[in-house]
Amino acid sequence: MPETFEILAGFLERFGAEVEGRELEEPSEETKTKLQQLARGELSEPERVNLFGLLNQHPQWIGRLAQEVKALRTDKNPG
């Protein structure tokens, strides 16, 4: 799983400005749930592949994934 986030970080490094400049479109509730599950490492390989395809089409959602990961880190390290 760490390799997945390295890929994500590399993507943001290369395309961060473009990602930030796009119109925000909210993901569906199902997609929001999938992003939470991805952050927790709870998705199967086929589900991850499908979600990465959606993130490729909607890179503005990567920020939401980052928020989910950050929230998990904050929960484990309160204060």
- CA–CA dist 44, 32 (Å, integer): 16
Number of structural domains found in the chain: 1
Residue 27 phi/psi, 5-degree rounding, is -70, 160
Domain that residue 61 falls in? 1-13+41-79
Domain annotation covers residue 60: yes
Cβ neighbours around 59 below 10 Å, total? 17
DSSP letters, 42-62, are ---HHHHHHHHHHHHH-GGGH
28, two tokens: 């569906």
pTM of model > 0.75: no
- Express each pLDDT in 2-43 by its tens digit: 677 777 777 777 776 555 555 567 899 999 999 999 999 999
Domain annotation covers residue 23: no
Domain annotation covers residue 78: yes
Domain annotation covers residue 19: no
